[in-house]
Structure 1
């Protein structure tokens, strides 16, 4: 017990050993946050701010250096964020840029069809809405941005599901299942697969009250330069006034909007 209270002994290493890797991961992320905030810092400074032994900080910094997430400034001996951070960040520019490139298209659709228009991407086995343009109707007031919605029960989700390989789709559906959101939700895997084939063939998906009773939505895909579906654009509205199939040109207009955004992302139809 005396050794645990000795400031010259690295008790943090023992704690890491008994606490598993979660504590080490949390501390490594804390180091990255410190360097992001300060610009650079020495091991002693990092250890002091974290409240850990210097050897613990040194060990964690060393691991980050090996992964090129942190680099040492040879002139001052302090540490800075490394170029490995850029490699990690390079996985998300497509999503970030598609929001930027889609904005004017979303606004134009919302103004033309007077309903809510959303942009969604696949994240953590759900369709997450990353941008929205509101129609002029006073009923279209719900903010969907940031909302995670089930793939099998939404138009955007079905577009994103249809673009996955069979194995990828199986992994997603195994993880989240096919829970019924309303009596209209498709909960049979075989029925869903048939529907997804039509979605992929036709280039759009429509849902009537599958996610919420009284809510209708239609979505179309957005492609990147490689022809991969990276997002879905949708129009939604209350069922009593919004029936996409009966609205001349709406579905084709939505598909064209998706292709317009896709072109901005470098997509060229083959």
Structure 2
């Protein structure tokens, strides 16, 4: 019986599919990507086979190629699929205790979110200790340009990837403070990278302030964001820096649990 199963299994092998999966698995370990020649050598493929497999994966948007460096890497589509598969099982489970600790220290609602295509999505929240609080259902989408979740992740994405996302989104004006200039938005992303945290100065909902920071995986890729949200009276401008540092430290704690080692 087992021998028949082995024979049956081997009859259904699809060589190019197997090679495609090998390419994906290899690139998942290479943060900066590899050239076609490097992929060919490492996987011991013929040049023709490697070219066909890689070209197909690029055409289907699972891989991307930097035309300047010729490096091939996993695309946003592939990374999004990976994030989608690990959200409920991994990121939330890893983050929930840290989220509760952050809520206990600052007493404000704590959110956890990711980017999924041109929008963001909230995975989990821990409600504020105060009677007046903002409650958002898990799964609720948020705009990238007006939210700390979106800005925290965008600031740390590879430049080509963040530029590609920015080209595709519309910077809708939600309040008088919403940034609608892509040039100004890029400048803010640079500031976020310098500070280590992002701010929503009532840009999504008037009167609601948020402070957030990115969560990195073991490869240093920003897979999620952690943030607090509160009425502006409880989270004034004067406290942005002190509380931003606190949120960033808690986000780094989650990153460490995911295997990230700070430089």
Give TM-score scaled by structure 1 length: 0.64
Which of these two proteins has the greater Rg computed from alpha carbons?
Answer: 1
In the TM superposition, structure 1's runs of 4+ consecutive aligned residues that sit over 4 Å from their partners are 87-90
Question: 1-side partners of 2:161 and 2:256: how far apart?
Answer: 26
Q: Which shifted more, 134-143 or 154-163?
A: 134-143
Kept after mapping to 1: 8 A contact 2:134/2:229: no
Structure 1 residues 245, 223: CA separation in 2 closer, same or farther (over 3 Å shift)?
A: farther
Whether 1:91 aligns to 2:90 is no
Q: How does 1:92-171 map to 2 (within 5 A)?
A: 92=83, 93-95=85-87, 96-171=89-164
Kept after mapping to 2: 8 A contact 1:244/1:251: no
Question: 2-side partners of 1:255 and 1:201: how far apart?
Answer: 12
Over aligned residue pairs, what C-alpha RMSD do you find?
2.8
Question: 1-side partners of 2:149 and 2:210: how far apart?
Answer: 8
Unmatched segments (≥5 aa) in structure 2: 1-11, 19-77
Question: 1-side partners of 2:189 and 2:80: how far apart?
Answer: 32
Q: Which shifted more, 178-187 or 161-170?
A: 161-170
Kept after mapping to 1: 8 A contact 2:197/2:245: no
Whether 1:194 aligns to 2:187 is yes
Q: CA deviation at 1:202?
A: 1.4
Whether 1:239 aligns to 2:232 is yes
Q: Which shifted more, 207-216 or 157-166?
A: 157-166
Kept after mapping to 1: 8 A contact 2:211/2:240: no
Structure 1 residues 236, 107: CA separation in 2 closer, same or farther (over 3 Å shift)?
A: same
Whether 1:225 aligns to 2:238 is no
Structure 1 residues 124, 88: CA separation in 2 closer, same or farther (over 3 Å shift)?
A: closer
Q: CA deviation at 1:250?
A: 2.1
Kept after mapping to 1: 8 A contact 2:111/2:226: yes
Count of aligned pairs between the two proteins: 191
Unmatched segments (≥5 aa) in structure 1: 1-61, 69-86
Q: CA deviation at 1:252?
A: 1.8
Q: How does 1:177-188 map to 2 (within 5 A)?
A: 177-188=170-181
Q: Which shifted more, 185-194 or 167-176?
A: 167-176
Structure 1 residues 90, 142: CA separation in 2 closer, same or farther (over 3 Å shift)?
A: closer
Once the two structures are superposed, what CA deviation does each residue of 1:132-151 show, in whole Å capped at 9, x if it has no partner? Answer: 00011122142242111111
Once the two structures are superposed, what CA deviation does each residue of 1:196-229 show, in whole Å capped at 9, x if it has no partner? Answer: 0011121100111100001100001111111111
**1:231 aligned counterpart, secondary structure:** strand
